[in-house]
């Protein structure tokens, strides 16, 4: 039995797609709408031609297939064997007809589905309230109101500027993923305009950033300063001193002072969570934080002096430390005349405030976001928090981004990249090569702190962005 597929000519399909996309993804505010009448005509034309083709295809196969020779059965009333033969033939014809009807019904189902989707598209093109959540208000499931609306909707530019900027409106830079968390975001945006920001005891801000709602919308409120705030210590002493507890608002954290954070690190041998920020806050002389990057002693990492010595003197002046924890890498670099910006997120501890009180620049940025730097500006990028936990596509995009912001001849220092042994050669080395780095140093070593039975490895690599 042959079945008829509903085929839509490509050009019609394109028109259909265009019309549906038009309604679904472009806000009326963002671009002038096409005259609805012409769109309607195109859609009706598409529907009509498809219905005709359904009819023709199905009509062509609607004739009953009778056995050969029985095309015009005459009824043999007196010949019982002939009568039986006729009856058999008619039964066969009926069965064939039933099969045809079933096929037709399936076709009708398919075409009614198509019709439904066309009508939904038509409704969206005409600004009906759509059924699907993602076709809502400029991508928001519900219409944003109040401060959320003010901070996320586009605002009209004065006439003279629109030509220069190539747009009539200024769109706030708000993370696309924020649309997926409208309830939480609405809570974050619920405050008295011009007043004090609500206390963020449940770290709503961080939760949103970690989910990819980054950048967050701006707010018109003032965060409360910590009580009895103390001004920072002067440089260079600030680099290695723990600031007073009163420089931080501790409400989102389990620890309520730096003594607790240092003690927690010492007790557990780690900063907590999945990040490798062991003893981060312990700046005591002789502590582990003081020894970091100080010697090339055959361990899994390199020393800062070793890395700087591999470049022409004075050519490493600006850097970025991705996931730089408490800022010690930047502190050591500052002692060597290199300005390093540290990306931090306050996961479990006030990293940003701590880095800042040391006199270093904390940049609140997750790994998922494009680096807010122009192409080719950095002499060095250092990253210690990367590893097998980062989804492959995110990692590859991040590495291309690192390559982008490095200047020609700049270096990417991949530090203690932790991953499962077989994937080191099979997955990660090829990604690094694909990005285009040239290997200056490459050190893979088995991770010993987990026990030898687990095949976990560290990769430390010094990679150069080629000059040409
Ligand atoms: C047509 O769709 C209905 C439900 O919409 C279903 O019950 C029926 O089995 C379908 N018929 C065929 C032939 O696919
Ligand atoms: C520090 O905070 C902890 C709780 O986080 C508390 O038990 C301890 O008494 C505090 N210590 C000081 C010196 O304030
Ligand atoms: C990766 O490949 C190199 C040879 O290219 C080999 O020496 C090394 O042991 C491999 N590493 C792992 C973790 O399998």
Which of 460, 120, 75, 178 shows the shortest CA–CA distance to 301? 460
pLDDT of res. 21: 43
Strand positions, DSSP E, 83-151: none
Ligand 3 atom closest to Cα of residue 455: 13
Q: Say if residues 253 and 348 touch (Cβ distance below 8 Å).
A: yes
- Position 170 in a domain: yes
- Three-state DSSP class for 428? helix
Whether residue 430 has its Cβ less than 6 Å from ligand 3: no
Whether residue 82 has its Cβ less than 6 Å from ligand 2: no
Residue length of the chain? 468
Ligand 1 atom closest to Cα of residue 105: 13
CA dist 288 and 282 (Å) reads 8
- Position 383 in a domain: yes
Our CA dihedral for 364, 187, 173, 32, rounded to 10 degrees, sits at 170
Q: Ligand 3 centroid vs 448 CA: distance in angstroms?
A: 17
Ligand 2 probe mutation, 260, 272, 348, 350, most atoms within 8 A of CB: 260
CA dist 71 and 69 (Å) reads 6
CA dist 137 and 77 (Å) reads 74
378-383 and 456-464 beta bridge pairing: unpaired
Same domain, 313 and 459: yes
CA dist 138 and 346 (Å) reads 31
User: How many folded domains does the chain comprise?
Assistant: 2
Averaged pLDDT, groups of 10, the chain, 468 residues long: 44 46 41 52 57 48 44 55 78 83 78 68 55 66 94 88 80 93 96 95 93 96 93 95 93 91 65 53 88 89 96 97 95 98 93 96 95 98 91 95 98 95 94 96 85 83 96
The CATH number that applies at residue 346 is 3.40.50.150
CA dist 264 and 279 (Å) reads 8
pLDDT of res. 118: 66
Q: Name every protein residue with a CB atom under 6 angstroms from any ligand 1 atom.
A: 102, 105-106, 109
Task: Give the number of the ligand closest to the Cα of residue 445.
Answer: 3
- Position 99 in a domain: no
**Residue of the nearest CA to atom 8 in ligand 3?**
425
CA dist 233 and 215 (Å) reads 31
Q: Ligand 3 centroid vs 300 CA: distance in angstroms?
A: 15
Task: Give the number of the ligand closest to the Cα of residue 104.
Answer: 1
Ligand 2 atom closest to Cα of residue 256: 5
H/E stretch holding 109? helix 80-125
CA dist 283 and 241 (Å) reads 7
Phi/psi for 425 (5° steps) reads -80, -35
**What does the block give as tokens for 26?**
């472009």
Compute the Cα dihedral for 431, 436, 439, 440 and give only its sign.
negative
Residue 20 CB partners (closer than 8 Å, separation 6+): 117, 118, 120, 121, 124, 125
- Position 273 in a domain: no
pLDDT of res. 51: 53
**Residue of the nearest CA to atom 3 in ligand 1?**
109
CA dist 111 and 114 (Å) reads 5
Whether residue 246 has its Cβ less than 6 Å from ligand 2: no
Ligand 3 atom closest to Cα of residue 446: 13
Whether residue 425 has its Cβ less than 6 Å from ligand 3: yes
- Position 191 in a domain: yes
Last residue of a domain, one of 148, 177, 210: 210
Q: What is the DSSP string of 299-339?
A: SSS--HHHHHHTS-TT---EEEEET-TTSHHHHHHHHTT-E
Q: Ligand 3 centroid vs 305 CA: distance in angstroms?
A: 27
pLDDT of res. 30: 41
pLDDT of res. 106: 78
Q: What is the DSSP letter of 222?
A: B
Locate tokens 């305009």: which residue? 193
pLDDT of res. 464: 98
Task: Give the number of the ligand closest to the Cα of residue 419.
Answer: 3
Last residue of a domain, one of 194, 210, 226: 210
- Position 379 in a domain: yes
Same domain, 455 and 312: yes
**Residue of the nearest CA to atom 12 in ligand 1?**
106
Whether residue 260 has its Cβ less than 6 Å from ligand 3: no
Distance of CA 141 to the CA centre of its chain: 19
Q: Say if residues 246 and 226 touch (Cβ distance below 8 Å).
A: yes
CA dist 5 and 58 (Å) reads 10
169-170 and 155-156 beta bridge pairing: antiparallel
Q: Ligand 1 centroid vs 64 CA: distance in angstroms?
A: 23
Last residue of a domain, one of 210, 232, 266: 210
pLDDT of res. 62: 41
pLDDT of res. 127: 54
Q: What is the DSSP string of 14-63?
A: HHHHHHHHHHHH--TTTSPPPPHHHHHHHHHHHHHHHHHHHHHHHHHT-S
- Position 394 in a domain: yes
Q: Ligand 1 centroid vs 108 CA: distance in angstroms?
A: 9
Q: Ligand 2 centroid vs 250 CA: distance in angstroms?
A: 11
Query: How many CB atoms lie under 10 A from the CB of residue 438?
Result: 12
Task: Give the number of the ligand closest to the Cα of residue 429.
Answer: 3
Q: State the chain's mean pLDDT as an integer.
A: 81
pTM over 0.95: no
Same domain, 206 and 347: no
Q: Ligand 3 centroid vs 422 CA: distance in angstroms?
A: 8
Same domain, 187 and 305: no
Count CA within 13 A, CB hemisphere, residue 306.
15
CA dist 387 and 395 (Å) reads 9
Same domain, 298 and 204: no
**What does the block give as tokens for 287?**
């502590």
Q: Ligand 2 centroid vs 130 CA: distance in angstroms?
A: 54
Same domain, 309 and 453: yes
The pLDDT tens digits of the residues spanning 379-435 come to: 999 999 899 889 999 999 999 999 999 999 999 999 999 999 999 999 999 999 999
Ligand 1 atom closest to Cα of residue 106: 13
Whether residue 110 has its Cβ less than 6 Å from ligand 2: no
- Position 284 in a domain: no
Give residue 427's domain range. Answer: 293-464
**What does the block give as tokens for 183?**
């309830």
**Residue of the nearest CA to atom 11 in ligand 1?**
106
Whether residue 412 has its Cβ less than 6 Å from ligand 3: no
Locate tokens 């700046």: which residue? 283
Same domain, 321 and 198: no
Please state, in angstroms and as integers, the Cα–Cα distance from residue 139 to each residue in 15, 221, 351, following that order: 23, 26, 34
Q: Ligand 3 centroid vs 425 CA: distance in angstroms?
A: 6
Task: Give me the residues paired with residue 143 across strands.
Answer: none
Ligand 3 atom closest to Cα of residue 457: 13
């Amino acid at each position: 039995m042959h079945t008829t597929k509903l085929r839509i000519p490509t050009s019609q399909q394109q028109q259909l797609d265009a019309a549906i996309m038009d309604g679904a993804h472009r806000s009326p505010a963002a671009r002038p709408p096409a005259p609805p009448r012409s769109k309607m005509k195109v859609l009706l034309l598409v529907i009509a031609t498809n219905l005709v083709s359904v009819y023709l295809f199905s009509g062509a196969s609607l004739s009953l297939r009778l056995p050969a020779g029985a095309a015009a059965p005459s009824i043999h009333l007196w010949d019982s064997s002939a009568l039986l033969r006729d009856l058999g033939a008619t039964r066969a014809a009926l069965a064939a007809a039933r099969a045809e009807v079933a096929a037709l019904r399936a076709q009708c189902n398919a075409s009614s589905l198509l019709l439904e989707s066309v009508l939904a598209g038509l409704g969206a093109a005409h600004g009906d309230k759509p059924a699907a959540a993602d076709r809502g208000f400029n991508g928001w499931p519900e219409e944003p109101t109040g401060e959320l609306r003010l901070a996320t909707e586009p605002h009209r530019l004065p006439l003279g500027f629109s030509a220069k900027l190539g747009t009539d409106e200024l769109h706030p830079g708000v993370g696309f993923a924020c649309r997926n968390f409208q309830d939480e975001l609405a809570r974050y945006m619920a405050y008295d305009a011009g007043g004090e920001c609500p206390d963020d005891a449940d770290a709503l801000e961080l939760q949103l950033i970690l989910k990819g709602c980054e950048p967050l919308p701006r707010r018109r409120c003032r965060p409360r300063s910590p009580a009895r705030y103390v001004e920072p210590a002067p440089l260079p002493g600030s680099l290695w001193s723990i600031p007073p507890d009163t420089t931080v608002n501790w409400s989102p954290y389990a620890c309520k002072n730096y003594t607790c954070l240092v003690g927690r690190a010492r007790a557990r041998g780690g900063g907590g969570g999945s990040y490798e920020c062991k003893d981060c806050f312990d700046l005591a002389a002789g502590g582990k934080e003081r020894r970091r990057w100080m010697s090339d002693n055959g361990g899994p990492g390199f020393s800062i002096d070793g890395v700087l010595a591999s470049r022409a003197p004075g050519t490493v002046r600006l850097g970025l430390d991705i996931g730089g924890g408490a800022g010690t890498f930047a502190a050591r670099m500052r002692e060597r005349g290199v300005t390093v910006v540290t990306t931090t997120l306050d996961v479990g501890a006030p990293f940003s405030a701590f880095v800042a009180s040391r006199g270093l620049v904390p940049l609140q940025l997750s790994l998922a976001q494009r680096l807010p730097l122009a192409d080719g500006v950095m002499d060095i990028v250092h990253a210690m928090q990367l590893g097998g936990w980062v989804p492959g596509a995110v990692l590859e995009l991040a590495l291309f981004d690192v390559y982008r912001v490095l200047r020609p001849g700049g270096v990417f220092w991949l530090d203690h990249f932790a991953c499962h042994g077989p994937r080191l050669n099979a997955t990660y080395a090829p990604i690094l090569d694909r990005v285009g780095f040239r290997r200056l140093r490459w050190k893979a070593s088995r991770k010993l702190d987990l026990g030898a039975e687990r095949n976990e490895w560290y990769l430390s690599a010094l990679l150069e962005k080629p000059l040409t």
